[in-house]
């Protein structure tokens, strides 16, 4: 079941090898309109997380969001199972 209405219609196929789905820990309480709080992330060589956008079904490409420092990312985001969104 979706955690919020913004999860509906999302393409939850990872954009590449090693990516896992992460959700902002406070996504439901932030009240940011149109934002699911989801990102694809995988460990980067620099030690942080390479993040990419989660797209709606039918959108062409997930876009990169840069490398997020590990400690901050793990404090703000938690891994989720795509089947649980």
Q: Where are the domains of the chain?
A: 5-84
For residue 73, the model assigns a pLDDT of 95
Q: Once rounded to an integer, what is the mean pLDDT over residues 7-17? A: 81
| pLDDT score of 1 more than 50 | no
pTM, 2 dp: 0.77
Residue 12 exposed, middle or buried by CB count within 10 Å (0-12, 13-18, 19+): middle
- Buried b / exposed e over 35-67, threshold 16 CB at 10 Å, is ebbbbbbbebeeebbbbbebbeeeeeebeeeeb
- Report d(CA 46, CA 23) in Å as an integer: 22
Q: For 39-61, how does the pLDDT look when each residue is reduced to its tens digit (9 = 90+)?
A: 899 999 889 999 998 877 666 66
């Amino acid at each position: 079941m979706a955690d919020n209405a913004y999860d509906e219609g999302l393409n939850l196929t990872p954009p590449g090898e090693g990516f896992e789905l992460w959700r902002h820990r406070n996504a439901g309480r932030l009240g940011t309109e149109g934002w699911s709080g989801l990102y694809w992330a995988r460990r980067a060589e620099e030690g942080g997380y390479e993040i990419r956008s989660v797209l709606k079904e039918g959108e062409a490409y997930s876009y990169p969001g840069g490398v997020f420092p590990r400690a901050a990312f793990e404090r703000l985001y938690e891994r989720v199972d795509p089947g649980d969104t």
